[in-house]
Amino acid sequence: MTAFRSSPSPHHDVGLSTPTSFKPVTAGRQVLRLAESEADIAAAQRLRYRVFYDELGAHPSAATAASRMDVDAFDGICEHLIVEDLSLPEDRRVVGTYRFMRREHAAVAGGFYTAGEFDIGALTRRRGAIMELGRSCVEIGYRDRNTMQLLWRGIADYVMAHQIEVMFGCGSLSGTDPDKHALALSYLYYNHLAPEDLRVKALPERHVEMRRVDPETIDARRALVALPPLLKGYLRAGAFIGDGAVIDAQFNTIDICVIVKTDLITGRYTRHYDLAQS
């Protein structure tokens, strides 16, 4: 994830309004909703800093370290899904977040974030609605079934509200040594490579080969254990993987591109997660 600096102005400043069909969801003390103000976005940015920089070892600039907020040039244009724990102090209330970037947002931003690492022409040339998922993270004490169910419910509701056909984004493996993830990368390539019409490819100058282990020797169970829970969740939803990985030195990650056809998730998650609407 390559970060860019900008002021976090809210998405409605560029004329991209929150869909009225997306309603908040309450589950116990947690509330799922779209960010509605600069304060909401700032709370998500503080959570991102705690996870990406404090926990996972990303390398902040002096300005980022001083603000203790993960901010980039896309934040003020995109929409932000947040999960709040209403029992917490207001400045730490956001415990989960995703950033949504539709084609309309990308037109204002000058392109999708993912395009800085991958050639996404196979997706942008499609006629239907597409959406980039980004900057996903959950507070360390909230990485449980309930929070993840809320986030997936939010994605499914948003997808239906905007009739999104394909969503995509960067999935990350910790660290920058691809040989330490040889099994996982090889497993993903040989078992989940996207079909040609969806096949995103790492930019040539950033391409890291994923085929690092003989496919005949791959133990699928061991490979799955080595994957982050979020990536395994995407695979359970039928995700495909692009061709090639990318090293992001700033965020201390190896990135792969994840592509999901939304018809595989919307019905499944809205039926399964029957949560009370507020």
Spans of the chain, pLDDT less than 70: 1-21, 264-278
What is the enclosing helix (H) or strand (E) of 254? Answer: strand 253-261
In the chain, which residue ranges form alpha helices assigned H by DSSP?
38-49, 62-67, 103-109, 121-124, 145-162, 182-192, 220-225, 229-236, 266-272
The pLDDT value recorded for residue 160 is: 92
The pLDDT value recorded for residue 181 is: 97
> For residue 11, how many other CB atoms are within 10 A of its CB?
22
Residue pair 139/104 in contact by the 8 Å Cβ criterion: no
Distance CA 170, CA 259 (A): 9
What is the enclosing helix (H) or strand (E) of 42? Answer: helix 38-49
The pLDDT value recorded for residue 268 is: 57
Torsion of CA 6, 9, 13, 14, to 10 degrees: 30
Instruction: For domain 11-272, give the CATH number.
Output: 3.40.630.30
The pLDDT value recorded for residue 9 is: 36
The pLDDT value recorded for residue 269 is: 54
The pLDDT value recorded for residue 4 is: 28
The pLDDT value recorded for residue 267 is: 57
Q: Which residues pair with 108 in a beta bridge?
A: none
> pTM of the predicted model, to two decimals?
0.88
First vs last C-alpha separation in the chain? 34
pLDDT, tens digit (0-9, with 9 covering 90-100), for 253-264: 999 999 999 986
